[in-house]
Structure 1
């Protein structure tokens, strides 16, 4: 006989959320693992003793975590989704008949709390990972990724043009138009030095090869290779190179790990982090770096011999290129030049000089540091480090972008962008915490290798 379900809403019912959330549900596991009672003390200074009660700090941070775990950065959608999900209601401690906070409350509270509170939560989750034996702290892989800012390219205005308009208005003159500009005047190249977004001035124009220019922030993160745990993450301006931020990243890592007695011994990064100042920073901290040199580095000059005692190069014809002074270009460089008279009747002049009248060679003042790195990266262990980097930090970045809401920040300003990235890192670490089941493959493999064991790749 065919069945037919009749539905009539009950006025009273015996119902418990805990009975409806499965034991293997991620939010049930997080509720059992995550202890956020410390947030009451950490956020007490932001509230007075009188007035209307605020959102519970624990509820606030749990709702933010839900947004990243569900890849929903919109505050409005977070609250709407929470109202429809029994497991989320159970996680944040709300019954099905309780009214949830307004979505605007999340935005205001995010602005209210300083970055220190978000960093404290990150450290607390990291501590739980350390206490569980997931981290060694010995080796860190570092990389970066552009994160789209909450502003469109249409909001970018020319700062200099705006200043001219403002000045002309003060003088009660009409703004200059293109017709009044002198002939032959070239338009200024679009750059972050003369243009800024009126929506989010902290964002910067940047572009990946083959992509269109966008307003971005630069997320710098480090990953412990023993268990793929994020040890530091934060927002930086996107108009600078990775090598300029390496020291700041190392400082973040040190602050997060030193209180637990973990010491960083090795750092792995790509060639974007290679510079004389970056290598000196690693040496000053007692850290061994595995960073490929940039393409401009040349271990040897083909046909030219360097005489260290005389600080000069000898060309294939035996003529000397003497030290001619220093110049500043991506760091201090030493300039070596030949005499025009030596090159004038040289039999290989055309091949060696091209259209120039003399030969010019440039070396970094810190070339010995790059030479040492070049030697290290060509050893079997150094090549293995590059494989480990690709298998750790790069997949984690992809995970954060595709599944943990870090493709775009939904806030304005670098401070709020930093909070968003920290929360994404916390969400990722929590997922690793509840799923952790053993030692990292690469560290297990390397622990079996003898220091003298050499293998070909």
Structure 2
């Protein structure tokens, strides 16, 4: 049960906040900047108003998750830090003497209250509206790109995953007390998941006996991360892998298992729209959605800046119809004429190959026809026929008994003449200079707020993680520009 309205807590120690949490504190600034009542309004319908014991405030639980994203720490550590960090208590609207929640409450909150909400759209909309109200967004251009996130299941082996986490823990220990190096358990050198798990458990047991070092915040944080890694591996061994994650490609040789987040951002570096998909999806087809969501959230969009992935014919036609300029160089491979039944084949700009609807990457390509002839050139992409024979989507795509499976693209020399001419203008060249900004934003999401790896399984959880990470970077950016 949740109350009909948020209650205000009073304490005789509240004046300590004014003394010990300065106005320059980031969490205090965020609390003063944002009216979080929209969270209560959004989630109150998910609670019973007249039955059961009183639930924790949904606003406070949401703020816990926001703190977890801001500082990139585990559930256990965000709760523990809220026990003694006054800036955390202030942000959570707690009285100084008030007890903290149990860390498991955050898991229940995510699963029971947030999973069915469109949190990604809600939080981006609120942060963009705030930026517009503060007069921060003045440009009429958006910059678009996609960034990848590794699945929690990991495309690397369970052994590599555990070794990476234990290595980070040992590194912090050695920095704290180099003398402990000879007192830790011997590392596992065998290619065995069971042995690696046993080593990690022994390492944790050894450290728990040494409270003087394991109680240090920077050590305890790595300990909790390793514990979560052990749980992840155990869960992966007992249950199925992430069913929503798919193989995507960073290049022709390098792949990843996970998700893509397609992002639109203003020149002021405020993210105005985002779409989370599985990893194999192409970048180009999402462009109209990013434009429409940005406009819906309060942006005026007169131009779009992106890489070659966004210069497909459909995008150029859409942009022309809506009087939007596309600052994206034409790629003759994806800038093609109308496709037929195989229009679900997506071009992957990083691998420079097409990907079939089942997520398989072409293994080679060939060009037919001479450049400059009146007849259009054709590029043919060949797929691994052995995979096609076993593919669940082979009906209507692969002809039984065929020795090859290919997909051909006609390279039109006329369709994009206007865009090619636009590329030579000074306006195009000046606008293109802003594209680097979104690369820096992607790096911030990954390196500062843990967006390089999914924290849970499934597309819904990935969207939730994206919502919190994007909301965080938008608020930080607004504070900086103010």
After TM superposition, the score normalised by the length of structure 2 is 0.62
Counterpart residue number, 2:149 = 147
2:168 corresponding residue in structure 1: none
1:159-204: CA deviation from partner (whole Å, max 9, x where unpaired): xxxxxxxxxxxxxxxxxxxxxxxxxxxxxxxxxxxxxx93211111
The CA deviation at 1:37 is 1.6
Determine the structure 1 residue equivalent to 2:250: 208
Q: Give the whole-Å Cα distance in 2 for the aligned partners of 1:416 and 1:292.
A: 34
Please name the residue that 1:51 is paired with. Answer: 52
CA deviations 1:131-168 (Å, max 9, x no partner) are 11111351000001101121133799xxxxxxxxxxxx
Contact 1:234 1:421 in 2 (8 A): no
Deviates more, 1:210-219 or 1:268-277: 210-219
Cα distance change of structure 1 residues 207 and 426 upon mapping to structure 2, 3 Å threshold: same
Distance 1:276 1:367, change over 3 A: farther
Contact 1:43 1:117 in 2 (8 A): no
Shift of 1:217: 0.5
Contact 1:17 1:95 (C-alpha < 8 Å) held by counterparts: no
CA deviation digits over 1:53-86, x for unaligned, max 9?
22211112211221221123x3223222322322
TM superposition shift of 1:368: 4.1
SS at match of 1:217: strand
- 1:255 corresponds in structure 2 to 296
Verify the 8 A CA contact 1:276 1:366 in the aligned structure 2.
no
Moved over 6 A (4+): 12-15, 325-332
- Determine helix, strand or coil for the equivalent of 2:257: strand
TM-superposed deviation, 1:394: 1.1
Shift of 1:414: 0.7
Kindly indicate whether the alpha-carbon contact (under 8 Å) linking 2:332 and 2:411 is maintained by their aligned counterparts in 1: no
SS across alignment from 1:40:
helix
| CA–CA distance in structure 2, aligned partners of residues 103 and 211 of structure 1 | 41
Instruction: Tell me the residue number matched to 2:302.
Output: 265
How far residue 256 of structure 1 moved from its aligned partner, in angstroms, is 1.6
How far apart in 1 are the matches of 2:376 and 2:308? 25
Distance 1:51 1:219, change over 3 A: same
Q: 1:399 aligns with which of 439, 444, 468?
A: 444
Distance 2:253 2:15 in 1: 53
With over 3 angstroms needed to count, the CA separation of the structure-2 counterparts of 1:216 and 1:118, relative to structure 1, is closer
Give the structure 1 partner of residue 280 of structure 2: 239
- 1:260-298 CA-to-partner distances (Å, cap 9, x unmatched) read xx4211001101222122222222333111111115489
2:324 corresponds to: 287
Partner of 1:453: none
SS where residue 115 of structure 1 aligns?
A: coil
Q: 1:389 aligns with which of 431, 435, 445?
A: 435
Task: Report if the CA contact (8 A) 1:65-1:427 is conserved.
Answer: yes
Offset at 1:123? 1.7
How far apart are residue 216 of structure 1 and its match? 1.2
SS of the residue corresponding to residue 110 of structure 2 reads helix
The SS at the match of 2:98 is: coil
The TM-score with structure 1 as length reference comes to: 0.65
Question: Take 1:274 and 1:144, find their aligned partners in 2: how far apart are those partners?
Answer: 15
Number of residue equivalences: 332
Conservation of the 8 A alpha-carbon contact between 2:152 and 2:242: yes
CA distance in 1, matches of 2:461, 2:91: 25
- Root-mean-square deviation over aligned CA pairs: 3.3
Greater Rg by CA? 1
Please list every run of 5 or more consecutive structure 2 residues that lacks an aligned counterpart in the other structure: 1-11, 159-238, 346-367, 379-408
